[in-house]
Chains A and B, each alone.
Chain A
Amino acid sequence: MLAMNYRGPYRVRADRNKPMPRIEHSGDAIVRVTRSCICGSDLHLYHGLVPDTRVGTTFGHEFIGVVEEIGEAVQNLKVGDNVLVPFNIACGKCVFCEQQLYGNCHESNPEATAVGGIFGYSHTAGGFDGGQAEYVRVPYADVGPMIIPEDMDHDNAVLLTDVFPTGYQAAEMGGIKPGDTVVVFGAGPVGIMAAKSAWLFGAGRVIVIDHLEYRLEFVKNYAQCEAYNFRSLEDPVLFIKKTTDWLGADVCIDAVGCEAAGDAMQTITGRKLMLQAGSATALHWAINSVKKGGIVSIVGVYGPTGNLIPIGNVVNKGITIRANQASVKRLLPRLIEHIQSGRIDPKQIITHRIPLEEVSDAYHIFSAKLDNCIKPILIPPSARK
C-alpha cells in the first residue's frame, strides 16, 4: 500500500511498498484512510527531535476513514462505518482511562509510562504506524473511534481527532473565568483553536503571540482576537505586563512546545545542540507573563528529557501549571455540539489539500512555513475517486 515513510530528519517519502496492516489483537480494526492531517507535533518527529523515531515509520495521528475489517471482539463498529479516530490509543479499562485520562492509558504503550499510545508518534508512544497511509491498524476499536455524524463535514471530522480538542483542552485547563485575559503563545493550528475556544469559556480578552505575519493575520480574523508579532516587540513579557495594568495575564497557554523561536540561548541549547529537550522559550514567556496566582496551560509538545524552565518563578508567583495530551474521547460530545450549532467551524483552518503521493513536499511546505500554510491535509488516492 501507499504510505508516508520516514527516512531521517527532514527526509520523508511516499512509499508504495509498505506492507498492509493486519489485525493483531481481537480488539483491532483496519481503517481505510480518507483524510489525514500533518500536525505541528509531527514536525518535531520530522526534525528528528523525538527519541526512538525509527526509519521506516509512518507518521499521522490525525485521520478519519472507513472501517475495512474488524477483530472478533469488536462490537461497536461494523465494516463500512465512517469513523473519526482520536489520536490517543486507549484501552478504556485501566485506572487512567477510568479517570478519562485517555492520553495516559496504561495498556497501549510498553515503551514509556508517561504517555499512552499515539498513532505514528515514534516508539516512545507505542511504536504504532500512523494514518498518513492508505490503511491503518486501529487498536481498541471499540474505545476510541467514533462514527462520524451524518451531517458532519469530513473536513471538520478530521480536525476533531486532535487539533480542535487539543486547543479546546488548552483553554479548559486554563480554568478561564468570564472576563479573564488569556494569552496564547503560538498561532499554529492548535494555538488558533485555543484562542477560538477561550471565548467559549468567557474570556474577556484573547491575545495571541507569534512571529509569522500570515499566521497572526489568520488568527486575528478567525478567532477575533488581538495578535502581536514578538519580533516587533522589544520584550513580549514586558508588553503583556504593560497591557494588563502591570499585573500579568490571568491565563497563559503554551501552544508552541519544543521548537519555539525568539530566544538565542534557548535556540542554541534546545534546538541546535539538543542539550535540553527543545527550546522552552514559549513556556518561559508563559510563566513570566502570567499573573501571580494565575494558570499556565501547556499543550505544546516537549521531549522527555529535561528543560531549563524558571521553576523558581512558578513557586514564587504561586502559579498553577496544568498540562496534558488532549483526552479526545472525553471532549468529543461537547465539541461535536459546538460544530453542529455553528459556534465553531474548524475546517476553515485547512489551507492545503495535498495528495498523499506528494507527502515530501507537504512536510516541507508545512515545516518551512511556505505558501502561507496553516494546516495541510493529505488525501490518499482512493479517497480522490
Chain B
Amino acid sequence: MMKNTEQDYSHIKGWGFDADPLDVPSYPMKKRTENDNKGMIWERPPQQPELVEVLHSNERPGLTAVFGTPNPPAGLSGKIRRFAFRYSESMIRHWLLLLLADRVNVMEGVHQDIRSGHIPDFFGELGGKAELKYNKAGLIRKVALGVLVGVVAVACLRRKNE
C-alpha cells in the first residue's frame, strides 16, 4: 500500500522551502524577447583568433566566439576526425568515426611517449597502486585469470602447431 504522506516533516531541514514555483527565483521559465525566432542575431562576442585547426559541426556556420585549442587534430586520428566532421551530429557515422579516431589516438599516444623517451607506466596509469592498496584480492584474481587465459591460449596454439 502507498505510504501515508500526511506526516510531520520537521526533521527534514528546509522541507518545502522551494515548493511554490512562484516563489522560486530560479524556476526555469522561457524568457520571451523581441529577438525570438529571428535566428542568430545576438550581439556576438569578439571572435577568438583561430591559431590551430578547429573542427566544427556542419550544423552551424563557422566557429563559435571561443573554443578550446589543446590537442588539435593530427596524424591518422586527425584525418579520421576531419572525415567524421563531414557528417552532421544526427548521423551515427559521425560519432562512430570519432570513437574510432579515439582508439587510433591511444596508439598514437603510446608511440609519441616512446618517441619522446617516456616509457608509459601502464601499472601506475591504470591506478595499480590504489588497486594494490584497496583491492588486493581483486588484483590477484585478475592476474590469475590473465595467466590462465594466457596458458590456455599457448596450449591451444601448440596443439594446433602439432
Interface residues of A, Cβ cutoff 8 Å to B: 7-13, 24-28, 48, 51-58, 73, 89, 91, 93-95, 98-100, 106-114, 117, 123-124, 126-129, 139-140, 172-173, 175-179, 181, 199-202, 204-205, 224, 243-245, 247, 274, 277, 303-306, 327, 330-331, 333-334, 338, 341-344, 358, 360-365, 367-368, 370-371
Contact = CB atoms under 8 A, between A and B. Distances in A.
Contact of B54 (A110, A117, A371): A110
B35 A334 contact: no
Interface of B: 1-3, 5, 7, 9, 11-19, 21, 24-28, 30-31, 33, 35-36, 40, 42-46, 48-49, 51, 54-57, 59-60, 62-71, 77, 81, 85, 89, 92, 95-96, 98-99, 101-103, 105-106, 108-110, 112-113, 120-122, 124-131, 134-135
Contacts of B101: 52
Residue of B13, B24, B124, B131 with most chain A CB atoms under a 10 A cut-off: B13
Contacts of B13: 199, 342-344
Contacts of B35: 95, 98
A202 B44 contact: no
Contacts of A362: 127, 130
Nearest to A46: B127
B3 A243 contact: yes
Nearest to B109: A55
A363 B15 CA distance: 35
A201 B26 CA distance: 13
A343 B36 CA distance: 38
B70 to A, nearest CB: 5
A202 B102 CA distance: 45
Contacts of A305: 92, 95-96
A128 B26 CA distance: 28
Contacts of B64: 106-110, 117, 126
Contacts of B18: 172, 200-202, 334
List the 4 closest A-B pairs by CB distance, nearest first: A364-B127, A127-B68, A343-B14, A204-B5
Contacts, number: 253
Contact of A199 (B15, B24, B106): B15
Contacts of A95: 35-36, 40, 42
Contacts of B68: 117, 123, 126-129
A326 B35 CA distance: 24
A295 to B, nearest CB: 13
Residue of B44, B45, B69, B99 with most chain A CB atoms under a 10 A cut-off: B45
A98 B26 contact: no
28 contacts: A7-B109, A27-B46, A55-B108, A56-B70, A73-B46, A89-B66, A93-B42, A94-B40, A98-B42, A108-B66, A109-B67, A110-B60, A110-B62, A111-B56, A111-B85, A124-B98, A127-B54, A140-B66, A199-B12, A327-B28, A330-B28, A334-B25, A360-B129, A360-B130, A361-B127, A361-B129, A362-B127, A364-B128
Contacts of A98: 31, 33, 35, 42
Contacts of B54: 110-111, 127
Nearest to B58: A113
B95 A55 contact: no
B75 to A, nearest CB: 10
Given A274-B99, A343-B14, A365-B130, A24 B69 contact: yes
B130 to A, nearest CB: 4
A127 B26 contact: no
Contacts of B63: 110
A344 B66 CA distance: 35
A184 to B, nearest CB: 15
